[in-house]
A and B are shown apart, each in its own frame.
Chain A
Amino acid sequence: MYRTNVSRGNLVAPDNDDLSTLRRLILKSQQESLSDSESEQANRIAQSKAGSKEAVAMIDQLCAFSEFSSLDSPSLAKDVFDVLREQPDPPVKAAVRRVPTALRNVVAVSPSAPSTASSPKSSNYLWILSLVASNILVASLAWSLAGSLSKRQPVGDIVTQAVSPQLVSMTACVWSSSDDSVPAIGQPIPTGEVLSLVEGIAEVRFGDDATRGAVVRIEGPASVQIRDNGELRLLRGSLTLDSFGSDAETLTIDTTIGRVLVAGQSSIGLVSDDIVSEVHVFTGSALLNPRGVTFETEQIRLIESEAVRVFSTTDMGSQLVRFAASKSSFVSARSAGFDALKIGDDYVKAVKQSEPGVYWRFEQLHGENPFYIENEGSIPGMNAVIVGNPTWRQYGNNRVAEVGTARASAFRALETWPEEPLGEYSVELWVKPQLYHHGEVICLHEQEELEDGRHQHTMMLEVTTKHHFTHRLSDSAPNRFRFVHRQLGAPQPISATSLFAEQPYEPRVWQHVVAQKKGDRQLLWVNGQIAAERINPVPLSKNVQILVGQVYPNSEYRRFAGQIDEIAIYDRALSSQEIRTHIRAAGRSIAPKREATDKDSGTTSP
């Protein structure tokens, strides 16, 4: 019955959405009943190898916290107390406790004002423990700082290397410039000039060979500057850096909180804005020389998996906390291939049972000049003709299309569809955006070109970002899927045709999206849940063309950067059951249903 050959280190698998969902459902089950579908989901995930281990690890933590609360087995309390006993007298001034403002005056435990919000079973003894635990949180942070002091390394031990930077690649980059000059690939970046990357990822190379120097990936929106001595200065935004040199070769990056010295063979991430700045060390090590700080340390040394956050406040000066480094905070640190989409026969069968008119699987190229993807749906013709040079990525037996990452590329149907205006339809696909950007995933546009080269659209599904090309979208939340449905020639304001998903999309993660018209309802589904909905009675215009990856067939404007697979278009509204059956047939789970909030009611109603 019991496995005995499992090493300790392998007990818990890397985190993923399923495991996160499972933990949430277990947490919920501790306080309230799960619905049938939640229970089914929890059981399904928990029956996987990783899920079972995750569930057990999770419940064990709950047990530990219960032991602490009930004091019937105070082993956790003992261990936490032991930690306290090991600490030197902490300079409490150096520690930071970031209590959410709304909670600060309500539940924070203080010696002079015992909490009145404890659970009913709390005893005096429990209150004392809570008080001590509260102090432990403060003390442990102070201890972390003390640890960094004891391990600090003189800057003089490190060779600082100035190197000349060069832009080596750009992914969907949009630059903001006071004149017409924008950085070009292969060109050195002029010193002194502030570069503002509005969106996209720009890769800058420092050094001139593969054994020294570093690659820096700047994530828009960000502003950087190359100083006269060749140092990179991060003024605002995020970047990741991989250094190639030996341990003794250090690169220096200037940030708003101080200079960061990165050892060779290290991988780090930096975040900088007006209030909060962070240094994450994924591998290797780095040294932060803070400037203008109030805490009692001169240098902070970070090693693998460690991160430090510096808050700048007007009333308390700068404050510092340590935490675990997180690659997921940096889009450019995630591999584009890390989330595999393994579509198999079950998925294809499920989709075909729903009888799509158009079904592009992107598995195989046909023809020559032009090459095309064959339509496996019921409508004759309607193949996806290749525009530009899309690339391909293989996940097991499944191949997906990658567009817009190296250069603009797209797919389009040469024939038009539908023959008559449609009151109902569904556009279903899997999409993995490479980054936060404003790009057209798929659209249905009028065949006839306007004088300025544009085409009118009756349907658009796109990803948006913080900075929009179209100022009319500037009031919407950033980084959302946007679904537009309108009737060609109908005088509808743009606000009456757009839907924005309630939650941001995830870069470099596959998401199942369905843009749908059902009676008078316009619906956007993301991962099996309705992400946005509105009343929009107009039909889909007839005789339009399908275009994937850009907004106009003859322009690279608003190109989509990322991967796309399994596009299916139906002349009817798929049911929720069908949508979810398709997702499950792909081996994926349905996203948890979001609780309605006041905010929701404002965005989902017409």
Chain B
Amino acid sequence: MDKAINQDPSQDEFVRLLASHSSRLMSFIRIITMNRQDDAEEVFQRTCVILWQKYSQFDGENFLAWACRIARYEMLKHRDSQRRVKVFGDETIEYLSADAYLVAREVGDRRTALGTCLKKLDDADKELIKHRYYDGLSVKEIAEQLGRSSYAVYRELSRIHGMLSRCIERTLAEEI
């Protein structure tokens, strides 16, 4: 029962909803695909197709929640088709999906908060973040340059990300 897209009166409404939620939906997908861009794009495309195919079933209440449910299902299907080792099992993805939805809803605010929180890091921590993410050095490369173990660098990065997470939550809470 294919929809004739160019004849469907709900097309404009669907496009408007998808456009207004696409960045949040993509954020959700990127989280549950563990920031794998290739997987995220694949799942995003599949999800958009399914959303349109099933748009008649949308209850009109919460487009993002509905889209994220479908995206999660598509993600699980997609990774079943991959032979890659999965970091998180399906059950864990269930847990993450609920929280990923909450994060995706406010992704814009979170990016702003992250920018604010980066400023608050001490400069040694900023340097490490910069080397890893802006300069694109691998953990191994950083470890070699610093004469430290990779484990120590992972641990430092973990600590900084933890500080940023808490700072982001504090910043968002203050803005309410």
* A residues apposed to B, CB below 8 Å: 1-3, 6-12, 14-15, 19-21, 23-31, 33-34, 39, 42-43, 46-47, 51-66, 68-70, 72-73, 75-76, 79-80, 82-83, 96-100, 102-103, 106-107, 109, 115, 117-119, 121-122, 129-130, 133-134, 137, 140-141, 143-144, 309, 321-324, 592, 594-595, 597
Contact of B151 among A23, A321, A594 (CB under 8 A): A594
Contact A141 B123 (CB under 8 A): yes
A103 in contact with B112 given A1-B69, A29-B87 (CB within 8 Å):
no
Asked whether, in the complex, the Cβ of A63 is within 8 Å of the Cβ of B31, the reply is: yes
Question: A residues within 8 A CB of B122?
Answer: 98, 309, 321-324
Give 6 A-B pairs besides A1-B69, A12-B165, A133-B134 with Cβ atoms closer than 8 angstroms.
A3-B98, A8-B172, A23-B158, A24-B155, A64-B111, A97-B127
Which chain A residue lies CB-closest to B34? A59
Which of B11-19, B49-57, B75-83, B100-108 forms contacts with chain A? B100-108
CB-defined A-B contacts under 8 Å, sample of 20? A1-B69, A2-B101, A8-B106, A11-B169, A11-B172, A15-B162, A23-B158, A34-B87, A46-B96, A56-B102, A66-B133, A69-B136, A79-B112, A80-B118, A100-B127, A103-B127, A117-B135, A140-B118, A309-B122, A323-B120
Identify the closest chain A residue to B165 (Cβ).
A57
Given contacts A100-B146, A137-B126, contact A82 B135 (CB under 8 A): no
Q: Do residues B123 and A324 form an inter-chain contact, with CB atoms below 8 A?
A: no
Q: Is the CB of B169 within 8 A of A107?
A: no
Q: Is B23 an interface residue (CB 8 A)?
A: yes
Chain A residues, CB < 8 A from B159: 20
A340: min CB distance to chain B, Å: 20
B5 interface residue (CB < 8 Å to A) = no
- Name the contact of A12 in the complex, choosing from B35, B89, B133, B166 (C-beta under 8 A): B166
| Contact surface of B with A, Cβ cutoff 8 Å | 23, 26-27, 30-31, 34-35, 37, 65, 68-69, 85, 87-89, 91-92, 95-103, 106-108, 110-112, 114-116, 118-127, 129-142, 145-147, 149-151, 154-155, 157-159, 161-170, 172-173, 176
Q: In the bound complex, do residue B31 and residue A56 qualify as a contact, i.e. CB atoms below 8 Å apart?
A: yes
Residues of A within 8 A of B34 (CB): 26, 29-30, 59
Would you call B172 and A9 a contact (CB within 8 A)? Answer: yes
Picked from B37, B123, B138, B162, the residue with its CB within 8 Å of the CB of A23 is: B162
Q: A9-B176, A47-B91, A107-B131 are in contact. Are A75 and B108 (CB under 8 A)?
A: yes
Verify A107–B137 contact, CB threshold 8 A.
yes
Q: Which residues of the partner chain A approach B145 to less than 8 Å between Cβ atoms? A: 100, 102-103, 106-107
Q: When the two chains form their complex, are residues B99 and A56 in contact, meaning their CB atoms are under 8 A apart?
A: yes
Give the chain B neighbours of A7 by CB distance below 8 A: 173, 176
Q: A137 and B130: CB pair below 8 A?
A: yes
**Which B residues are CB-close (under 8 A) to A309?**
122
Contact of A592 among B97, B141, B151 (CB under 8 A): B151
A141 to B120 Cα, complex, angstroms:
8
Residue of A nearest to B159 (CB): A20
Residues B134 and A68 in contact, CB atoms below 8 Å apart: yes
- Chain A contacts for B124, CB-based, 8 A: 98, 100
